[in-house]
Chain A
C-alpha cells in the first residue's frame, strides 16, 4: 500500500513516464541493497557493488525477482511494485545518474513558486483551493513571521487596505512584519532547536551556562537580515575573520552549544571527542542535510561519505582549547567576556570621562595598613571562597614562572582533585591568578592585561580577591572578584575561566593552603581586601591622582562584571592532530587526516581558501554548492508549510526522500543564492505566493499531508507561540528583545526526585518576578535534563542535540496544560478583564470581542450562543459562591482588577479559558 502511494504521487503509474534512476530506482537499491553492496568495502558481499554503474543489472534483477536477494534473514524484501520498477529500469537501458542532491541546483528560467506548484497540480488533475480571506491570511502570516497574531485593529486596517490597494496591501503587510523586532525572535526559535541552544550544560549535573549573548546575536542577525552566507560564516568561523569583531566572536558560540559533561571522574578525552563529533553532526544536519555521524565508526552505509571523510570534517573542529570535563558551575573554556551594547556604551562613556580628566597628582596619603602575614615556603594561609584575601610582593619581570603557589603540580592530572589550590604566576609579562578545586576546569583563572612585567626592573604586585562582600547573589561570577594592582595602580584583567564551585555561605569553611614562595620579595598575605588607598601605601607609591584612579577603577569594575559567553578558538601553537578513530573510539586512533571535505561528491575546495573553519565556511557558501542552499530553503519552506519539499529535512542523502517539487526546490535555492542569500527576500516570496495564500479547508483524506499544496498550511502553533499569543491576548506580554533568560511559573517541586542534590547554579528554579514572568517564551531558561513542561508537552525538544524538525503531536496532556496550567489560567483572567473593559457592555458583545481577538474573525450567532451559555452558567455559580470566583481569579501573579465584580469576572474567565482551548485559536 505504501509503495502504491509513492508511485501514484510520483506519477510513475502513468505508463508514459520513463523510470528515473534517482527518483525511482536508487531509493529501492539504497534501502535494500547498499547495506551489503554499497561503498563500505569492509561490509561488501561477494564483491558486488550496486551503488555505481557497472554491475550486471540483468543478474541483479533476476535474483531479486526470484526472491534470492535480499537474502532471507536480512529483514528486507522487495514488493512486487519495486521489482517491476527495477525491471522497467533495466528494460529502458538501466542508466545510472548521480544522486540528485549532489548535483548543483539548476534554475529553470521563468520559474516561480506558483508556476511549479500549479503545474504539478494540473498534472495530477487536482484542483487547488482559492485564496483565503485577507484577514485569515494576515493571521497566518503574522503567526508565521512574528509568532504573534495580529490585533483586530491591524486586521481591519489590512482588510480595508486590500480593498483600496489590492496586491500592494499584501506587500505592505509583509514588509511591516519583516521590520518588526518580533520577526527575529520568531525566526530564532527554529534556529535554537537546530543549534541545540540551552541555558544548562546537560548531563547529570546540568548546571547553568550563559549563552544568551549568542542567542541575542541570532535574533539580531535575522532582524538585520544578515545575508545567510554570512550567518553561516560568522557562526562557524567568526573568530577567524580578519579583525574579528566582538559580535563575530560571539557568533561562534554556535560551535559550543553542545552538551558538556562535568561528571566527576569521566575520562576527559572521551568527552572532548564527543564534543567535536557533535559539531560535525550539527554541521551535517544543519547545512548539508547529511547524516555525518553514520560515518563516525565506519564508512557510511548509504551515502558516499567514508569514515575518513567524517574525520576530515572532524579535523576542522578538533583544534579548540577546550576540556572534556568542564562546566560544573558556569561556562566552559574557551570563553570571552561579551559586553552588551549598553555595557559597551557605559565603558565608552567612562573612557571619555577618563580621557578628559585634568591631572591632579598629589602625594599618596599614608593611611595605616593592618599588618599582614609574611609568606614563606611551607607557611599556610586560611582561605574561604566567600572571604576576601590579598597577596602582595615585589617581583622582577621576565621569564614565565611560578611566584607564590599552593598548587601541587606533580600529582596525577587525571585525579579529580588535581590542581587544587591558589596560585600566582608570571606568564608573558602578565600576572595570572588561579584559584582551583581542580585544574583546569573547576577554577578561576584571571590574567592581567598590560601589566608589562617584561623587563628586569623590580615591580610591586598586589592581588586582590574581594570575596563575597560585594556579591548580591550566588550566581555572580567569582572571577569578577579578582583585581590586580601593579605598583599601586590597578590594571585591567581578562577572565579565562570562571568555574570554581561555590559552596553556600554557611557551608563555606576556610581551608589551609600551604604555599611555596618563589623568586619574589616581601611576600605578604592579608585575610581581608585591602583598599586601593592601602595598596598604594603597601606598594610604596609616592604620588597619585586619586580621582583619576577612582575612575579607572570604576571602569575596570564594569568590565570585570561583564557576562561571559563560550566561543570557538584555535589552539595556540601546534595544532592538535586528528586521526581516524577506529570504531569511533576515542582511544583507537587510526590514520592521520588533514581537514578537508569530500570534494569529488560535494564540490571542490575554493581556491586559496585556508584549511580551517573559515575555509570550510567558504566552501559551504560557494554559490554552486549542491546542498547548502537547498537544505536551508527547504527548512524555511518547512517552517511555513509544516513539511519541507524534501520531507526528510534532516537527510538529503540517498536514504532521504525525493523532493515533491524538485524544480521548485532548485529554483528557490538558486534564487536565494543569487539574491545574496537574502532571507527576508525568500520569506517574502513564499508568504506572498498564491500557494501560501490558499484557504486551508478541504478534503484532507486525499492528501493528508498536503504534499501537492492544494491547500493552505494549517497546523497547531508551536509551544512558544501558544504561550506568547495567550500573553498577548491577555495584555500581559512584555516585549523586550534579548537579555538573560527568565523563569516563568513552573510547578514548584518539579525538580524533586530528579535534579542532582548539589548546590550548583541551575539546580533550583525560582520564579521570576515582574516582567520576567511575561517575556516571550524563547527567553525561558532552558534546563536540558528537566525542560519547562509547558513547552515540552507541545513538542519542544530538550535541546541536547541538533534537531531540524519537531513532531506535532495531539495529546491529552496538552489539553490539561491549556486548561489548567497557571500560565494559561492567568492569561484567561486577564483576557476576561480586557473583554470587560474593551468588549462593550453586554455579555454577548464581550464574548464576541474575545472571540474576535483570539480567532481573528467574528463569531456567528451559534458561537456567541455557546459562549454565552457557559457565561450564564458560570455567572450563576459564582453569584452563589463568591469564594469560588475569587479562588479562580487568584491564579497568577498579575493583580486582579478589583473594579470588576468577581462573579462576572470569574464567569468571563471561564469563557476565556474555553476560548484559549479552541482548535481555531491554537492553530494557524
Chain B
C-alpha cells in the first residue's frame, strides 16, 4: 500500500508529465531545488577520446621536446593500457598543429578548430577534467551514468526523472547518433548510455534516427493513412473506455492517453525532424552537411529544433575519435566533421536568445597521451587513451563566457590546477539545471543512489 507519487510517475510515458501527475497527487514538486540557469542540455559527446593536446590544450613547453622521455616525476604511477604496455619508452609527442588565440578572451584553440575559435568568447573551456577509467566502455559509461560498470541510469534519464517533460508531444530525453565521415567508427556505443538503469524504463532516452522513421515504428504501415488510423484509434479508444468503466483499472485510462500521444507524435516528430524549410542562412551557418540526415551537422541543427520545443536533454554522439595510430590523418577529418556545426549551434542559439537557458557541452570520455603510441615522427603519430587530464568546453546555460578553468601541467599529462572530476562535471550540470546532485536520488536495493555516487563538487568557479 506504500504507493508513492514516483511509483505512479514511473509507469507512465511522457504523455503525462511530472507536473500533471504532481498536481493530481497534490504532491509538492521536489525539483528543481532552486532556480535553474539552464532549462535544457545539449551534450555534443565526442566518443573515442579526442586529443586535448591537438585541440584545446596548448602546450608550448612540449614543442621542440620531441622524443625526449617524459620525466618520471610527471609519469608517476600512470595506469597504462595493454596497447602500450610493451613500449619500453614513453617519449614526448608534441602536437604538429598550430594554436592561436581567439577573441577578446584570448583562448588558445588549435588550428584544427577555427570555427570553435570563432566562438571563443562564448565558451568556457575546462582543461582540468580527469577520470579513473582508461578504456572506452568504462570511461564513457562513467561520464554518462556515474559508474564504470553497467547498471546505473544515464544522465538524461536522471534529468527526465527529476524534471520531467515540458513538451506534451515529445520525449524529454532524445539521443542522436552520427558516424564519422571517414567511416572509421572503431568503438561501439551502448544502449545503456541512454538507458534507465534501475529507474523505470520509461526514462530511457528515445533515439531519433537519421534514416527511415525518426522514431521506430512511427509511420503507419503502408496502406493505412492518417485519417484511417484516426478511425481505428477512435474505435480502439471507445472499446478501451468501456473496459475501463467495467474494470476500473486506471492503467487503461493511461493507455488511452498514450495512444493519443502516439498519434500526435506521428505529426509532431516528422515536423520536427524535417529541417528542409529552414532558411538558407541556417544551412550557411551549419554547413551543407546539415542537409544530410544523420550527419553530425544535421544532428546539431536537429538539436536546436528539439531545444526550441523544450526537449530537456538532447544527447548527441559522434564517434571515431580513437586515434591510436594515424592520428594525423584521422583527427583533421573528425575536426572538420564537428567544428563548424558545433560552433554554429552555439551561434544559432545565441542569435535566437536561447543560449542563456540552454547548456551546450562538447567533449569525450578522456583525452590522449602526451606520449606517442607506436612509431612516431614529428608529423605522423598516434596517441593512446589518457584519463589523467583532458579538456571539454561548455557554453550558455549559466556558465561563464570567454572563460577557461583548470590547467594541465606543461606536458599535458596531469592536472596542474582546477581539476574537475567526472562526478564534479555531473554535479555541475545538474546544478545548472536547478538540481542539487545530492538530492536527486532513487531508492534501489535499499540504498538511495545518485548520479554522482557519493562524490561530486559543483564547480562554482565557472558559474556566471
Contact = CB atoms under 8 A, between A and B. Distances in A.
Are chains A and B native binding partners rather than an unrelated pairing?
yes
Interface of A: 1-2, 5-6, 8-9, 75, 202-206, 259, 261, 263-268, 274, 291, 294, 301-303, 325, 411-412, 414-418, 647-648, 650-651, 653-657, 660, 696-701, 703-705, 707-708, 714, 716, 747-750, 752-758, 763, 784-787, 789, 792-793, 795, 798, 800-801, 806-817, 819-822, 825, 862-863, 866-867, 869-870, 873-874, 877-878, 883-891, 906, 910, 913-914, 917-920, 923
A291 B223 contact: no
Given A411-B86, A869-B235, A886 B223 contact: yes
Interface stretch (B95-103, B242-250, B339-347, B424-432): B242-250
A660 B294 CA distance: 51
Contact of A704 (B82, B189, B250, B445): B250
Contacts of A787: 191
A414 B188 contact: no
B75 interface: no
B150 A202 contact: yes
A785 B82 contact: no
A807 B235 contact: no
A535 B10 CA distance: 68
B295 to A, nearest CB: 10
Given A267-B82, A795-B201, A812-B15, A870 B235 contact: yes
Contacts of B86: 411-412, 414-418
A754 B189 contact: yes
Contacts of B216: 747, 750, 789, 793, 813, 816-817, 821
B156 to A, nearest CB: 15
B201 A807 contact: yes
Nearest to A124: B1
B239 A887 contact: no
A128 to B, nearest CB: 15
A294 B445 contact: yes
A757 B185 contact: yes
Contacts of A800: 150-151, 192
Contacts of A656: 446
A866 B239 contact: yes
A810 B251 contact: yes
B243 A919 contact: yes
Contacts of B231: 869-870, 873-874
B458 to A, nearest CB: 15
Given A263-B135, A274-B149, A812-B259, A798 B191 contact: yes
B192 A785 contact: yes
Contacts of A698: 247-248
Nearest to B264: A812
Contacts of B186: 756-758
Given A815-B258, A883-B223, 11 more contacts: A698-B248, A700-B250, A748-B212, A752-B210, A753-B209, A757-B186, A758-B186, A811-B12, A811-B202, A812-B265, A866-B238
**Which 6 pairs between the two chains have the least Cβ-Cβ distance?**
A655-B446, A811-B13, A888-B223, A415-B86, A265-B81, A756-B188
Interface string B284-321: 00000000001000000000000000000000010100
Contacts of A793: 216
B179 interface: yes
A756 B187 contact: yes
A820 B232 contact: no
Contacts of A301: 447
A418 B235 CA distance: 66
Contacts of A303: 446
A782 to B, nearest CB: 12
A913 B259 CA distance: 14
Contacts of B83: 264-265, 415-416
B220 interface: yes
Contacts of B439: 75
B251 A910 contact: no
Contact of B189 (A753, A784, A817): A753
Contact of A910 (B4, B150, B206, B228): B228
Given A204-B137, A654-B446, A708 B1 contact: yes
Contacts of B229: 819
A32 B228 CA distance: 57
B438 interface: yes
A250 B13 CA distance: 41
A275 B189 CA distance: 21
Interface string B197-234: 00011100010011111011111111111001101100
21 contacts: A2-B2, A75-B439, A203-B190, A204-B188, A261-B137, A265-B82, A699-B248, A705-B1, A752-B210, A810-B258, A811-B14, A812-B14, A813-B13, A815-B262, A866-B235, A869-B235, A878-B223, A883-B223, A910-B224, A918-B243, A920-B243
Interface in B253-273: 254-255, 258-259, 261-262, 265
B380 interface: no
B195 interface: yes
Interface string B1-31: 1111001101111110000000000010000
Contacts of B228: 873-874, 877, 910
A39 to B, nearest CB: 14
Contact of B240 (A647, A700, A883, A918): A918
B137 A812 contact: no
Given A414-B85, A699-B248, A801-B151, A917 B259 contact: yes
B82 A414 contact: yes
B15 A5 contact: no
Given A418-B86, A655-B447, A808 B11 contact: yes
Contacts of A758: 186
A302 B446 contact: yes
Interface centre among A264, A265, A266, A874 (most CB of B within 10 A): A265
Given A785-B192, A787-B191, A416 B262 contact: no
A747 B248 CA distance: 37
A190 B263 CA distance: 32
